[in-house]
Structure 1
Amino acid sequence: IARAMGMSVTDLFPPRAREATADERTRLRQFALRADLQACANVLGAESAVVQIAAGDLERGLTLTAEDVARLAVARDRIEAARHAIGALKWQS
């Protein structure tokens, strides 16, 4: 699209005032890692609550509805995705 307008992709972004120092790059990576971990923790917290509610219902002898089972499957998939995301994070500083 940029080329069709007679531009390049670099024209879409302002030039950097200066290159980041090694220390600044390290801090930025750490900040990004913390943000990624927090996002994963939020998913794990919310989706594990769904699993806990379903487990409690089953312990009380209740039968899960088709809607409950479908939501439980979504929770399972999201928990698995968060676990994979955590495993894929770069832990180097």
Structure 2
Amino acid sequence: MKSAAPDGHRESGAQSSHTLKSTSAEPPINRVLNRCEGVRKTPSGWVALCTAHEDKRPSLAIAEGDNGMVLLHCYAGCELDSIVAGMGLEVGDLFPDRAQPLNRSQRAELRQRQRLTQLTAVLPVLQFEALVILCGAQDIAEGKALSEADRARFAAAVGRIGHAKEVLCNG
């Protein structure tokens, strides 16, 4: 059984919640957070383990738009369709049930909020991956031999920093 976080969302555990069905009465953010593992609150929303790949560190940024729409971004580069499918949901489940579509200014506001979420979430990723590379550089400077696992981790760090650069530059 998953443990409940102070805000009522489950944080971690072995039991899968991917078989839960969404209901129109359930807010979209709950549809998502209840299906994620390792959920942690952040200043801009939440982070969790990505449902589209085998994640050891939370790489999925989750935020709620002002209109109740859920914004998702995986810093490992997973596609939205894969992330949502891994939750047992469809992209439409990220939106609140509405009788009317969003207007142009509401869509622009959502894009701006998603961009802010991406920028806020990318900074801790850059900090951690830079630390990984710094540790490797220090080992090399001290003449230590690097293992295959170390080389693979450094390559992953470079890839994640490259993805963060794409997010920052291309938005």
1:36-74 deviation line (CA, Å, top 9, x unaligned): 101111211111110000011111111111110010000
Q: Specify every segment of 5 or more residues in structure 2 that has no aligned partner in the other structure, as ranges.
A: 1-91
2:156 corresponds, among 40, 63, 74, to: 74
Q: Give the equivalent residue in structure 2 for 1:63.
A: 145
1:14 corresponds, among 87, 97, 104, to: 97
CA RMSD of aligned residues (A): 2.7
1:53 corresponds, among 118, 135, 138, to: 135
Which is further off, 27-36 or 40-49? 27-36
Q: 1:39 to 1:16 in 2, by over 3 A?
A: farther
1:34 CA drift (Å): 2.0
Bigger relative contact order, structure 1 or 2, given CA contacts below 8 A and separation 6+?
A: 1
Structure that is richer in strand per residue: 2
Identity across aligned pairs (percent)?
A: 28
What number of residue pairs does the alignment pair up? 78
Structure that is richer in helix per residue: 1
Question: Aligned equivalents of 2:124 and 2:99: distance in 1?
Answer: 33
1:31 CA drift (Å): 3.2
Q: 1:31 to 1:63 in 2, by over 3 A?
A: same
1:28 CA drift (Å): 4.5
Mark the structure with the bigger radius of gyration: 1
Question: Aligned equivalents of 2:151 and 2:127: distance in 1?
Answer: 19
TM-score under structure 2 normalisation?
0.38
Stretches of 4+ aligned residues off by more than 3 angstroms:
16-22, 24-31
Question: Aligned equivalents of 1:58 and 1:15: distance in 2?
Answer: 57
Q: Specify every segment of 5 or more residues in structure 1 that has no aligned partner in the other structure, as ranges.
A: 1-8
